[in-house]
Structure 1
Amino acid sequence: MQRRVLGLGAVLVTVIGLGGCGSSDSGASGSSPSNGDRTTTVKVGVIPIVDVAPLYLGQQKGFFDSRGIKLEMVSAQGGAAIIPGVVSGQFQFGFSNTTSLMVAQAKGVPVRSVANGAASNGKVGADVTGVVVKKDSPIKTAKDLAGRTVAVNTLQNIGDTTVRESVRRAGGDPAKVKFVEIAFDQMPAAVDGGRVDAAWMGEPAQTIAKAQGARVVASPFAETDPRLTVATYFTSTGLAQQNPDLVRKFTEAMAESLRYASGHPDEARQVLTTYTKISGDVLKRLTLPSWPADVDMTSLEKLASLGEKDGLFGGKKPDLDALFS
C-alpha cells in the first residue's frame, strides 16, 4: 500500500552492501536500552498513511515511554527508502508492506519483521483499498478490468499482485490487465479525467474519489484473503541479534498499540490529524484497516504464492518463517 514501496531493484545492491558492514545498525541513539532507568530514542521509518495510526496512538498513550522508548518518526515515501534505511542503521525500525519485505528477503537483504502493522478489514466493497472507476464506467466487476489500464502506486507490488487475483477470481484474464504507476494522491483526478480506466486506491484517495461519484468494483485485499496481513514493522537482522531487548520492548509496545487502536477506532481516526492533512468529511468517512496484534501466516503464504506466480522473487521463494516468525 505504500507509495514507492517497491522500487527495490535499484537499491538492492546498496542495501546488501550496507547490511554487510555490521556496525551501522548495532543500536539505537540515546542511552543503552538495557538500562531500565533510562530512555532510548529510536527512529522509525514510516509512511504518513492511515495504516500507521496505532504507532502514533501508542506514542500518545505512553505505551512506548513506559518501556523506556522515545519514538522519533521519520516520514519516507515508501519501502524503497525505508528498507535500506533500516539496514544501514538510519532507522532502527521501519514500516513496509509484506510483499516488499518478501522481495527484499528473497534478494538477500537482512530484514526481519517484529510486529504486525495492518491488515485487510475483510469487507468486500468497503476495505481499506479498492479498485475505483468513474460513475459512468462500463466496468462493473473485476472481470471487466481485463484489457483495461489500472493505476497502482508502485508496479510489481502488493497492489498489482492482489488486483490480478481479484480479476482471476472474477473469471477474467489477469495477464490482460495493463498497470501504470501513479501516486495515490493523484489517482482520483486520473480516474475522473479518464487518464486511466481504473485505479487501485488506498485511503484517503478512495474516499475522495467516491465523494466525486466514483465506484468501487473490487476489493483486492479482502478478495485475496479477508485476513490478509498487509504490512508489518521490521528491523535489521543485525539489530535483532545485537539488541534483542530493544526489539522485544518495541514489539510489546506495538502489540499494545494495535490492541488499543482496534478497541478505540475513533481515537485512531482522530490521531490521523497529527501526522497527515486529513480532516473534515474525509476524516469521518475514510475506511480504516484492521489492526490485529498478530500476523496471519496463512494469508502471507497465499500472498507469497501469488508473488511467486508474478515472478517477483527472481526464482528464490522467501523464507516466511524466518521473516515473520
Structure 2
Amino acid sequence: MKKAGFFALAAITALVLSGCTDSDAPADGGADDGDSGSSAELTPVTVGVIPIADTAAIYLGDDQGFFEDEGLDLTIETATGGAAIVPAVVSGDYQFGFSNTLSLMVAADQGLDIKMVSSAVATTGDTSKDMGAVITKADSGISSPADLAGKTVSSNSVGNINDTVVRTVVDEAGGDSSTIEFVEVPFPDAIAAVENDQVDAAFVVEPFITSALDAGLEVVSYAYAEFDPKLDIAAYFALGDVDPDLLEKFQTAMTKSLEYADANPDAVREIMATYTKTDPAVLAEITLPKYPTEMDRASIEKLAAAAQEYGVLKAEPDFDNLLP
C-alpha cells in the first residue's frame, strides 16, 4: 500500500553526525487514503528517508508495488538527515532508515547496534559531472581543490562524509585541508550563502548543483567522484536484531526498487516531482546518482580510513558486521 508522510522530529539527541543531505520538501500528509482492506494482510513497515534524488528508488518501489509484492505496507517518513533518522530507528519508531555511510560508521563507532542492510546511492564516478560537488563564485579565485585551503566551506553538517571527501581531495591536490573552516549550512541555503559571501565555497548535491550553475556559480570539485569512482554515499540501515523475515522482504523490495530506478532515469525525475519542491526544468537537467544493488566494500573501507585519519572515526569498523 502506497503511503508517504512527512514527519518533523523534535528534541532529537545528537547521537551521530547528520546525514548526507538536507531538504526543504513540503509535507504532503501522513494519512493513508488507499484501500484499507488490503492493508490488513500486509506487514506495516516505516522507513525514514531524506526527500532528495538519493531516495527516489524507494519512492519508485512504493509506486510500482514492489513492497506490496513482498507483503509490506510501506510508510515513508521524512527528516532532514541521519541525525534525526538514526535515533528514530534506534527507538523503534522506524524499522529502517536512510543515512550516509560515514554517519552509520560513526553510529556504530559510538556503540549503537545498527547495520547497513541495503545499498541506496553511489557516485556516478564521473569527475566532470557528478551529483555532489563543491561550488563557488566565478570570481572567488578558487579554481582547484588546493585553492580551498584557508577558506570557509559549508556543508549540511560537519564531521561526516562530505567534509571528509573534501579534505581528502584537497590534500591529494597539494593543499592543506587542516586550514579549511567547515561550517554547517543546509543545502537549500548554500547557494545564497556563497552568493552573499557568508562562505567561500559550499558542498552541495543535486538538485542544488544544477541550480548553482544556473545562477552563475562554478564547480570546484566533484568530490565524491574524485574521492573514489565507486563510492557508496548512503545506505539503508536497521537495528542489528531486526526481524530476519522482515529484513529479507525489505531487501528484496529494495533490490527491485534500485534496479528499476537505475534503469529508468525519466521515472526518477518524474517521481522526484511528487516529493520535492524542485522546478521541473531543473529536474530535467540534474545529474542523477547511481542506484547500485550491491555495496562496494573497497570504497567503504577507503572512506573509513580517511575518516580515521581526520579524527571522525576512532577505530576501523567491523565491516563484516556492519555491511550487508
Check whether TM > 0.5: yes
Partner in structure 2 of residue 11 of structure 1: 15
Does the 8 Å contact 2:13/2:87 carry over to 1? no
Query: 1:161, 1:310 within 8 Å by CA — same for their partners in 2?
Result: yes
Rounded to whole Å, the distance in 2 between the matches of 1:215 and 1:279 is 20
Paired residue secondary structure (1:64):
helix
Q: What residue is the counterpart of 2:304 in the other structure?
A: 304
Q: Secondary structure at the match of 1:44?
A: strand
Shift of 1:9: 7.8
Give the ranges of 4+ consecutive aligned residues of structure 1 lying more than 4 Å apart after TM superposition. Answer: none
Query: Gaps (5+ residues) in structure 2?
Result: 1-11, 17-39
Separation of aligned partners in 2, 1:274 and 1:280 = 11
Superposed, 1:286-325 pairs within 5 Å as: 286-313=286-313, 315-325=314-324
The C-alpha deviation readout for 1:293-322, integer Å capped at 9, x for no partner, is 000000000000011011112x33221221
Amino-acid identity (%) = 45
Q: Identify the residue that residue 157 of structure 2 maps to in structure 1.
A: 154
Deviation at 1:284, TM superposition (A): 0.8
**Aligned equivalent of 1:40, options 43, 46, 50:** 43
Q: Distance in 2 between matches of 1:286 and 1:72?
A: 27
The 5-angstrom pairing of residues 57-136 of structure 1 reads: 57-136=60-139
CA distance in structure 1 between the partners assigned to 2:14 and 2:201 by the alignment: 28
Q: Deviations over 1:98-118 (max 9, x none)?
A: 000000001110101110010
Matches of 2:160 and 2:315, distance apart in 1: 16
User: Does the Cα contact within 8 Å between 2:97 and 2:237 map onto a contact in 1?
Assistant: yes
Q: Could you say which residue in structure 2 is the equivalent of 1:22?
A: none
TM-superposed deviation, 1:235:
0.6
Letter in 1 for 2:160: N
The one-letter code matched in structure 2 to 1:264 is: N
Q: CA deviation at 1:234?
A: 0.6
Letter of the 1:51 counterpart: D
The alignment partner of 1:285 has SS state of coil
The letter of the residue matching 1:154 is: S
SS in 1 for 2:157: coil
- Residue 256 of structure 1 is matched in structure 2 by 256
| TM-score, with length taken from structure 2 | 0.87
- Name the CA distance, whole Å, in 1 between partners of 2:192 and 2:44: 40
- How far the C-alpha of 1:280 sits from its partner, in A, is 2.1
Could you tell me which residue of structure 2 aligns to residue 279 of structure 1? 279
RMSD: 1.5
Kept in 2, the 8 Å contact 1:96–1:232? The answer is: yes
**2:204 equivalent to 1:205:** no
Structure 1: gaps (5+ residues): 1-7, 13-36
CA distance in 1, matches of 2:269, 2:171: 33
Q: Which one-letter code corresponds to 1:60 in the other structure?
A: D
SS of equivalent residue, structure 2 residue 153: strand
Instruction: Measure how far apart 1:38 and its partner are.
Output: 2.4
Q: CA deviation at 1:51?
A: 0.1
d(CA) in 2 for partners of 1:171, 1:69:
51
Native 8 Å contact 1:106 1:319 kept in 2: no
Alignment of 1:162-173 (within 5 A): 162-173=165-176
Instruction: Give how far 1:203 is off.
Output: 1.6
SS in 2 for 1:191: helix
CA distance in 2, matches of 1:148, 1:111: 36
Distance 1:9 1:229 in 2: 26
